[in-house]
Each structure stands twice: as C-alpha cells, then as structure tokens.
Structure 1
Amino acid sequence: MTVSVIQFGGSNCDRDAVRALDAVGVAAERVWHEDGLPDDPSGIVLPGGFSYGDYLRAGAMAGRAPIVEAVRDAAREGVPVLGVCNGAQVGCEAGLTPGAFTTNASARFQCEHVHLRVENAETPWTCAFEAGEVISLPIAHGEGRFEINEEELATLDDEDRILFRYCDEDGNVTPAANPNGSTDAVAGLCSENEDVAVLMPHPERATLPELGGTDGRGVLRAFAE
C-alpha cells in the first residue's frame, strides 16, 4: 500500500512530501493528476505549490480537476487525505473541509517558522502530540488566511475539528502570533470523520533536524497509524 502524492501543474512540494513520508517509514509516490488516482491508495497528499498558477484564486482550478472527484470518493471510504498549503486551498475548494483560504492580512507572501498550539490530540493527525503542546512548522504562502463564517466556526469548535491554532512560543493565541490574520487563528482543521486534514503550515518541511526541526513527523505519521 502506498500514499499517492497528487501532482498538478504548478505543484512544487510533491517531491518534498514523498521524501518526508519516506523519512517516517511510509511508502509514497507522485501521481500526475491526469493519470487518475491509483486503485486502493493507502493515503493521499495534496501538496503545496501554485497549482494552475493560482489563477482565479489559489486552489480553485485544481479543486475542480477530475482526479479530485476520485479523491473525494476515497475520503468517503475512509482513505486518509492531507492537504498542505496549496493542497489545503484545494481541499477547501473541493468541499473536503469547510472554509476557505484567502490573501494574507499583510497582503504579502510570508515565509517563516511559526508556532502552533495543538487543539485536539485525539485525531490521527495529532495523536503524536499532547493537547496544548506547542510545535513549530514553517509557512510559505500569500493566500493563507483562513476564513469561515461564525456558524461553521462554532460547529468546528463544538466538534473539536480544529487541529492547530497559531500561537506564540508559550502557547498564547494572540493577534501578534497570527501570521496571516486567519479567523480565530485557525491553522489546520479536519473533516467530520477526521479522515481529511488541511493545514497551511508545512509538516513535510519539518522532518529533518538539520533543516530546523522534526515536529512535522508527528503529522505525517498519521498515514502509518
């Protein structure tokens, strides 16, 4: 069984995702979107990048690509799906999770390490951590501000579907620690059945100590659970 990392035109983190999954003992392969989803994937990654050049809006065109319907069907059958950065935008555009990602409050591309507070440690994506634990992952996005209406946000809160919030190094959720202006500082969330997770920070870029940390391994290990 192998995790399929979907490559669209403009994807640029697909190789990183394969390497990072290999580092945690998970077999993975890149799949060109026009070739369709392989039979019985053990997991699916929608990687970061600039699918279709982010024309219209980030993730909008990839979110309507034919392969995404197969991804949606696989998620309904319990196949774990992780969308990272542009993949998170694709996931929201495809309706795999609620909300949307839009232009950063700064109106600038931001590339830096941020702190995240683990909000729910009972999901496959977060069970490697403790609730309230602070981890560090890098971001690299221009349209990473998570937007959602109050009713849907309340549902996410009530159902414990918010995985991570931006915070400072002590775990305080403050406006200053929110790098892009995301609603309620949401950095990652999951679907109702927890099989799909989308997050703006990059776990695949935080798996090697020499590159700044290994906190991303805890997220990626969900595919091995």
Structure 2
Amino acid sequence: MEQNPQLPDQHTPPRPQHDDPGHEVVDREGNIKLPGFKSVDLGHESTEPLGHSAEATAVKQPVRTLILTGFGINCEEEFAAAYQLAGAEPTIVHLNQVLHGHVSIHDYDILNFPGGFSFGDDLGSGVVLANKLRYRKNAEGRTLLDDIKQFIANGKFVMGICNGFQVLVKLGLLPNLSGNVTPEVTLTHNASGRYEDRWVRLKVNPKSNSPFLKGIDSMEVPVRHGEGRLIIKGEETLAEIEARALNCLAYTDFDGSPTDVYPHNPNGADLNCAGLTDTTGQVFGLMPHPEAFLSLYNHPDWARRKRQNPGLSEEGDGLRLFRNIVEHVQSQRSATTSHQEAHQFSS
C-alpha cells in the first residue's frame, strides 16, 4: 500500500540539512544556531550566526535591514540587492526564525515584507500571512504584530512591496487611521479581471510625510499582481486618507496626471492609489516593484533612451526609495549621537 509522503511541519523552524557539511553552527553547549542569510553575498548563505561582535559595534554601524522570506515569498533577493546598493546591510531570514525567537526584529532598523505569493494566495493575497502575524503567539505570549507595533513605536520603519503591501493592509498597519491596527481598506482583484504585468508611471503625493519618498516627484516601475485594486469603504475613510496625504503614490498617464484609465491604472484602485503610508510615515507599502528597477538596464526601453541621452543615469528609478530611507536612518542616528555628545559635554 502506497504511503502518503511525510511533509515538513510548517510551524517548526528551518534546520540545517545533514547532507550540507559546514552549514551547521554549533555552540559550546551543543545547540545548533541557525545561520543567517546575508543576501547578495557570494554563495548567498552565511555560516555565521546572526549578530555582530563587540568590535563591529564599536565602529560606525551600517543601517541594518531585515527581509523576511518563506511560505511563497520570492522577491527577497531583489529587495536585498536594493538595500546593498543603497549602502545598507541586508539580511534575509525565514519567517520561522523570527516567529521562534531565533532572530529579533528589534536588532534591525527597517523591517521588510517582499513580494511573492505567500501561502499561494489561497484565501486571498496576504490574508494567511497577516493572520499568522496577528494571532500566532510565541513562548512569551506575544505575537509578531505586538513586536511590530513596538518596533514602530521605537521610531523604526516598515516597508512592504506587492504581497508585502497586501500583508500590511490586511494586518491593519496601513493606513491605520484609528491607531488600533484594524483593517480599514482592502486590496482585491484587479478590475481587469486578470494578472497584470506591465510598466507604470507613478506620481508622489507632494504632501506625503514619508521619508521613503522625500525629494521624489515621479517614477516608472513595473507591476506584477492580480490583486492590487485598493478599495476604500466609506466616504469618511476616503476623505481622511486624502486629507492626511496617506495616498502617497498615484498611477498616472503619460502626461503625469493621476488617472483611472486602464492600462495606465492597471487595477482600478480607488484614488488611483498605488501606495499608502500610515499616519507616522514610518510604515510604507506599494503595489509596484521598485526593487525590480535598480539599474537603467532593467528597463525594456533602456537602449533607445541611452542613445537619445548618453548622459542618462544608469540607476533605476526604484533605487531612490531605498537610498532615501537608508540616508534618513543614518541622519537620525547622527542626530542622536550629536545630541548625546552635547549632553555629555554640558554635564
């Protein structure tokens, strides 16, 4: 009689494979330490446990960004490449490593939810992962959402792209008008009724207070989604989002004017909205993929554009988002250090 295959338990943390010599890290007590994934390094995997030595912390620390993967997420490498190009230190970890306490989000400056198809979009894009973050408790009785709320309260930043944006919306972290982290809007199937894979133009809301978008007026990036249509229920919610400039990105036509006309607006979103921030500006999510346009050569029309303008920058539009937030965190850190030094001098 044929037996059913033994599938891995998704609720246990990932373990090193026995047939991968040198992959395990064992401490003096014989406990296995799960290795971190230092993205875009040669070989991808680091055999060093996550964390930094005292010598490393004594010198100027880079901006540290944590990028979650697992359960169908598949854009983590592009996300990490963007941060490395922007001068940060990206680390990719499986979500279970965070849920089981092997990695703390509080050791990082920016928490990132990449695109992909978490849990196969089986109950709707981002729904299962959002519920896992909201309801699954650790040994201390805390959920990851509890930790994320504390992470934000500590002045740190969260970014979600595509499926990651869907997760933040389904969690209620965006737009979070009430401050209670309950869902106030949703993302559902595109008005076209099909998956959209195309390049779009975006305009930044000039009133947005998000450091991710500082100094950016417009950009061109690709979309790759089937459920990117933002639905805002209730005129009061819609009006408050507009009044507080939380609709930070809009799909535009070739003239740069926000539009609801397909295919310039690929999904029919309310307010022609391609991205949202929360009221603090610390949480930012968008449906398009800035991490997919880090170099001019990512663009399908790069050759003609380069011939017409030989001096055209070889950086892609999407990289500016990552440079912005990395520079913002660095400036915050410098300001804090200066304040502490001034306080010590005066005392």
Q: TM-score, normalised by structure 2?
A: 0.61
Question: Of residues 98, 116, 139 in structure 1, which corresponds to 2:223?
Answer: 139
2:250 corresponds to 1:173: no
Aligned to 1:92: 169
- CA–CA distance in structure 1, aligned partners of residues 64 and 260 of structure 2: 40
Larger RCO, structure (CA 8 Å, separation 6 or more)? 1
Q: Deviations over 1:140-186 (max 9, x none)?
A: 00000011122212111111112110001211122222110000100
Aligned to 2:188: 102
Structure 1: which amino acid aligns with 2:187? F
The Cα shift of 1:76 comes to 2.7
Aligned to 1:154: 239
Aligned to 2:248: 163
Secondary structure of 1:214 counterpart? coil
Comparing 181-190 with 119-128, greater Cα deviation is found at 119-128
The Cα shift of 1:122 comes to 4.1
Aligned to 1:203: 290
The Cα shift of 1:127 comes to 0.5
Structure 1: which amino acid aligns with 2:68? I
Aligned length: 222
Aligned to 2:316: 214
Secondary structure of 2:213 counterpart? coil
Secondary structure of 2:174 counterpart? coil
2:113 corresponds to 1:59: no
Structure 1: which amino acid aligns with 2:245? D
- CA–CA distance in structure 2, aligned partners of residues 192 and 184 of structure 1: 17
Secondary structure of 2:125 counterpart? coil
Identical aligned residues as a percent: 31
Aligned to 1:29: 91
- CA–CA distance in structure 1, aligned partners of residues 242 and 201 of structure 2: 20
Aligned to 1:49: 116
- CA–CA distance in structure 1, aligned partners of residues 294 and 96 of structure 2: 29
- CA–CA distance in structure 2, aligned partners of residues 170 and 44 of structure 1: 34
Determine which structure has more spread, i.e. the larger CA radius of gyration: 2
Q: Does the Cα contact within 8 Å between 2:111 and 2:157 map onto a contact in 1?
A: yes
Q: Could you list the runs of 5+ residues in structure 2 that have no partner in the other structure? A: 1-62, 134-143, 176-184, 300-314, 329-347
Q: Does the Cα contact within 8 Å between 1:8 and 1:62 map onto a contact in 2?
A: no
- CA–CA distance in structure 1, aligned partners of residues 227 and 122 of structure 2: 12
Secondary structure of 1:125 counterpart? helix
Secondary structure of 1:221 counterpart? helix
Q: Could you list the runs of 5+ residues in structure 1 that have no partner in the other structure? A: none
The Cα shift of 1:55 comes to 1.4
- CA–CA distance in structure 1, aligned partners of residues 319 and 246 of structure 2: 20
Q: Does the Cα contact within 8 Å between 2:72 and 2:119 map onto a contact in 1?
A: yes
Q: Does the Cα contact within 8 Å between 1:128 and 1:218 map onto a contact in 2?
A: no
Q: How does 1:4-19 map to 2 (within 5 A)?
A: 4-19=66-81
Q: Deviations over 1:178-201 (max 9, x none)?
A: 110000100011001110001000
The Cα shift of 1:8 comes to 3.0
Q: TM-score, normalised by structure 1?
A: 0.93
Comparing 213-222 with 137-146, greater Cα deviation is found at 213-222
